[in-house]
């Protein structure tokens, strides 16, 4: 047990700093880039960077939404549909104000509507989890079905398209050569890193993830914290919803559905403890880049759409095997056998 606890202790540092986990992931990223660069001529190009930069933020924002619940020992399975519903809320506001001709005031109202929708769905989930003690998987799964159904009812199963140019710029434009959605994602990463490592809520999230009863006995308001964790998760879904709406110039319920389990994978690849209590934002962000680079690289290899999914899965299996073998060797060398 002692190596495990040592590893866990090592995994958490108060001040964000470059630890072994980050170095390991960066090495993995470098290896992946080199491998794909050799295998696919033309992989090391600006167009690859651009495609990664535009595709990463959606998955990335959703992964951040998944991260806090996982560290608190829970789950949020409703993230993708919450993002859809948030995008829908914004699209409705814009449509009512003239669609593609909507003004800046309408856009601001739309953004607020999206954030409020996401936060409300999260608050609802968090309240139920905190005050009834129901399992987060069950609560978020029920919420997912409810939110999806609601969205399908509101859109009659179709999609709503046509947003003003300013909004499209958030999804498709660049600022100083850097894709705008990437900037949104970077800001979100920074915000989450601060919340998780420096705020009382982040502190409570880790403690709750390890032992909620001991945390409550210490005087931490565990119910309020749990409610806030899911509310912030929902808020992040709202941001993801806005970016998705902006990028595709439309919103459809079910868009990004396949991201759900990949966000979980990104968290675990980013060294988040599947049992809660430990996890940092930076390693997860790097893990996301790795996942996206592999996906883009496989596209460029010219593999068929369907085969590339299988290749992607195979690659991930390989990473997991290598990582766990490497990790256990490393720990043995570091701490000796106990």
Partner 1 sequence: MPSTADRPHADAGAPLLQLDHISKQFGGVKALDDVRFDIRRGEVLCLAGENGCGKSTLIKIISGVHRPEPGAVMLFNGRSVEGLDPAAARALGIQVIWQDLALFPEMTVAENIAFESNLGARPRLVDYGAMKAAAVRILGRLGVKLDLQAPLRTLPIAQRQIVAVARALVAEATLVFMDEPTASLSQAETDALLAIVRRLSDEGIAVVFVSHRLAEVLDVCSRVTVLRDGRLVGTFPTEGMTQTRLTQLMTGKTFDYAVQTRDLSDAPVVLSVENLSRAPDYADVSFTIRRGEIVGLTGRLGSGRTELALSLFGMAPAAAGTVTLEGKPVRFASNREAIRAGVAYVSEDRLQLGLVQPQSISDNTAITVLDSLLGPGYLISARRQDALVDDWVRDLGVKIGHPDHAVSTLSGGNQQRIVLAKWLATHPKLLILDSPTVGVDVGARAGIFAIVHKLAEAGMAILLISDEIPEVYFNADRILHMRDGRIVGAYVPGETDIDAIEGAVHA
Whose Cβ is closer to partner 1: residue 217's or residue 326's? 217
Q: Which stretch binds partner 1 (CB under 8 A): 11-19, 51-59, 88-96, 323-331?
A: 11-19
Pair 42, 311: CB distance under 8 Å = no
Q: Which residues contact 160 (CB under 8 A, 6 or more apart)?
A: 88, 91, 92, 95, 250, 251, 252
Whose Cβ is closer to partner 1: residue 177's or residue 219's? 219
Full 3-state SS string of 236-290 = HHHHHHHHHHHHHCEEECCCCCCHHHHHHHHHHHCCCCCCCCCCCHHHHHHHHHH
Residue 104: DSSP 8-state: H
HSE-up of 109 (CA within 13 Å, CB side)? 12
Rounded Cα gap, residues 26 and 285, in angstroms: 11
Residue 211 in the binding site for partner 1 (CB under 8 A): yes
Residue 220 in the binding site for partner 1 (CB under 8 A): yes
Residue 213 in the binding site for partner 1 (CB under 8 A): yes
Which of residues 206, 255, 271, 280 is near partner 1 by CB under 8 A? 206
Pair 307, 295: CB distance under 8 Å = no
Which of residues 26, 50, 95, 216 is near partner 1 by CB under 8 A? 216
What is the three-class DSSP state of 129? Answer: helix
Residue 14 in the binding site for partner 1 (CB under 8 A): yes
Per rule CB under 8 A, count of chain residues that contact partner 1: 32
Residue 12 in the binding site for partner 1 (CB under 8 A): yes
The sign one gets for the Cα dihedral 133, 137, 143, 145 is: negative
Instruction: Give the footprint of partner 1 on residues 255-294 (CB under 8 A).
Output: 277-278
Residue 334 in the binding site for partner 1 (CB under 8 A): no
Q: How far is the CB of 28 from partner 1 (least distance, A)?
A: 25
Residue 70 in the binding site for partner 1 (CB under 8 A): no
Whose Cβ is closer to partner 1: residue 5's or residue 304's? 5
Which of residues 101, 166, 198, 274 is near partner 1 by CB under 8 A? 198
Helix axes 180-198, 200-210, angle to 10 degrees: 70
Residue 332 in the binding site for partner 1 (CB under 8 A): no
Q: How far is the CB of 222 from partner 1 (least distance, A)?
A: 10
Helix axes 104-132, 136-155, angle to 10 degrees: 150
Q: How far is the CB of 196 from partner 1 (least distance, A)?
A: 11
Residue 249 in the binding site for partner 1 (CB under 8 A): no
Residue 218 in the binding site for partner 1 (CB under 8 A): yes
HSE-up of 125 (CA within 13 Å, CB side)? 35
Residue 215 in the binding site for partner 1 (CB under 8 A): yes
Q: Which residues contact 5 (CB under 8 A, 6 or more apart)?
A: none
Rounded Cα gap, residues 53 and 247, in angstroms: 12
Question: In sequence order, what are the beta bridge partners of 160?
Answer: 251
Task: Give the x/- contact pattern for partner 1 in 146-185, rule: CB under 8 A.
Answer: ----------------------------------------
Whose Cβ is closer to partner 1: residue 15's or residue 104's? 15
Which of residues 38, 187, 194, 320 is near partner 1 by CB under 8 A? 194
Residue 13 in the binding site for partner 1 (CB under 8 A): yes
How large is the C-alpha radius of gyration of the chain? 20
Question: In sequence order, what are the beta bridge partners of 159?
Answer: 252
Residue 2 in the binding site for partner 1 (CB under 8 A): yes
Which of residues 108, 173, 178, 200 is near partner 1 by CB under 8 A? 200
Q: Please give the residue ranges that form the binding site for partner 1 (CB under 8 A).
A: 1-2, 5-6, 8-10, 12-15, 194, 198-200, 203, 206-207, 210-211, 213-221, 277-278, 336
């Amino acid at each position: 047990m002692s190596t495990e606890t040592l590893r866990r202790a090592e995994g958490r540092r108060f001040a964000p700093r470059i630890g072994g986990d980050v170095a390991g992931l960066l090495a993995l990223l470098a290896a992946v880039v080199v491998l794909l660069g050799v295998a696919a001529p033309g992989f090391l190009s600006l167009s690859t960077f651009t495609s990664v930069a535009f595709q990463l933020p959606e998955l990335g924002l959703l992964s951040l939404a998944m991260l806090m619940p996982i560290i608190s020992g829970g789950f949020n399975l409703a993230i993708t549909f919450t993002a859809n519903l948030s995008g829908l809320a914004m699209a409705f506001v814009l449509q009512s104000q003239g669609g593609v001709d909507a003004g800046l005031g309408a856009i601001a109202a739309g953004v607020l509507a999206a954030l409020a929708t996401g936060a409300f769905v999260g608050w609802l989930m968090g309240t139920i989890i905190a005050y009834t003690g129901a399992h987060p998987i069950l609560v978020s799964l029920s919420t997912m079905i409810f939110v999806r159904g609601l969205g399908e009812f509101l859109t009659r199963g179709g999609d709503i398209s046509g947003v003003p140019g300013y909004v499209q710029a958030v999804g498709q434009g660049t600022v100083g050569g850097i894709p705008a959605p990437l900037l949104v994602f970077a800001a979100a990463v920074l915000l989450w890193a601060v919340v998780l490592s420096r705020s009382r809520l982040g502190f409570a999230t880790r403690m709750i993830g390890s032992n909620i009863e001991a945390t409550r006995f210490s005087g931490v308001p565990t119910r309020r914290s749990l409610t806030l964790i899911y509310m912030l998760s929902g808020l992040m879904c709202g941001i993801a919803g806005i970016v998705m709406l902006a990028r595709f110039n439309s919103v459809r319920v079910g868009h990004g559905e396949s991201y759900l389990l990949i966000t979980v994978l990104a968290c675990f690849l980013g060294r988040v403890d599947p049992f809660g209590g430990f996890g940092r934002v930076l390693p997860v962000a790097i893990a996301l880049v790795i996942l996206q680079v592999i996906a883009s690289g496989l596209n460029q290899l010219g593999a068929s759409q369907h085969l590339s999914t299988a290749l992607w899965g195979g690659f991930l299996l390989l990473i997991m095997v290598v990582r766990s073998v490497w990790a256990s060797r490393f720990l043995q060398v570091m701490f000796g056998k106990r």
